[in-house]
Amino acid sequence: MAASIPNRGPELLAVDILFLAAAVIANLLRCYVRIAMVKAFGVDDWLMAIATLFFVAYCSSSISGVRHGTGRHHSDLSQENIHKAKQSWWLCYLFYCVSMISSKVSIGCFLLRIAVKRIHTLIIYGAMFISIVAGVVFFFVTLFQCHPIYYFWNKTEPGRCISNEVIIGLGYLYSTFSIISDFTFALLPGFIVWNLQLNRRTKIALVPLLTMGCIASSAVVARTPYLPSFRSADFLWATIDIAIWSSVEQGLAITAGSLATLRPLFHLIANRFGLSTNPTRPLQSNYAGASVEALGGRRKANQTELDLYKLSAMVETRVSRRDRDEEMENNIKSPNWFQTGFPRSKRNSVSERKPVEDTESQKSLHAKRSDESLDQDGMQITVSKSFFVTDERR
């Protein structure tokens, strides 16, 4: 009986499918929350959607590579399959870089929404900057590591490539910058939330959600020891662990970064199942202003207005000045009659005040005041008051 051919491709295939499904589902839920519930689809959401699309492209190339020989020894493959598998590897380089840059910047923009202090903002920008620089450098070095480009996967043609030591060194540098930015995004939300005027229970609940976007660094740490395998001539077999942990890194970054925005959905589900006594009522907000339901506003939060996590303590019901004037004009019965001008709503219904018949003495007093209020042109001046009420939801 012939010995079975070693093949670790199915391991990579399973990881690709698992983390791709998780990332796509999490990102779709994020889009639902931001579009349907919060109505504030921002820059960070677009960037995470881009990261998801490139992760789909990455997994497609990775699965194609498995089909042609990734995870197997070169001695067990034909030259044609080696060429196709290595071409898929080269495409994975590029898709990986774009996906990780987009996801890291998305997480940074997400944190910028709630950054209060200038030092926090500068730290976030710094972490985003080193992520972008490291990713862009890695992208172009891997893109042009061979001349001509196709020489990377087809060594039968004349050409040359840069030393593998450059790729390994660049891999270590990229991993270092990635870990630094990830741990920055992990630790900073704790300081941001702790300085806000929230109760301790809410702060403890928010910190884990905000720090979820950084757990991809665990995959970077796990991948680092395998970087020297780039030196191996049996490339498709030796680099399978790098491919696996790269898939895990992207899947974790997108999934965790998207889950960090789903608190309104979690709150709604908890309310439906009776796990929360605080009702969920999504309110519309424009992205340029302050958000009401989740991290939905583009402007920076301050310490007194954190409507971001459904923590608002007051909902105001206002009537426009023009509407109040028209209503008072239609209902004025005497020169000194006042009407509150409350809006009619299902929640805040206030019965209209009906004027009471004046007594004889009051009528004479009103007539006297009316005569005194006429100016030279005979114009009557009426003083009116209007009010607005606030409903405090606690």
What's the number of CA atoms in the CB half-sphere (13 Å) around residue 23? 31
Q: How many CB atoms lie within 10 A of CB 254?
A: 32
Q: What topology does CATH give the domain 9-272?
A: Rhopdopsin 7-helix transmembrane proteins (1.20.1070)
What's the number of CA atoms in the CB half-sphere (13 Å) around residue 67? 9
Domain boundaries, the chain: 9-272, 314-351+383-394
Q: What is the pLDDT of residues 222-234, one digit of tens each?
A: 999 999 999 998 9
Please give the span between the terminal C-alpha atoms of the chain, in angstroms, as a whole number.
74
| Contact status, residue 161 vs residue 146, Cβ threshold 8 Å | yes
Q: What is the pLDDT of residues 324-355, one digit of tens each?
A: 555 555 555 444 444 444 444 444 444 444 45
* Spatial separation of the C-alpha atoms in residues 270 and 262, rounded to whole Å: 12
Residues of the chain with pLDDT under 50: 1-2, 279-320, 333-354, 372-380, 385, 387-388, 392-394
pTM score over 0.75: no
Instruction: Give the pLDDT score at 202.
Output: 64
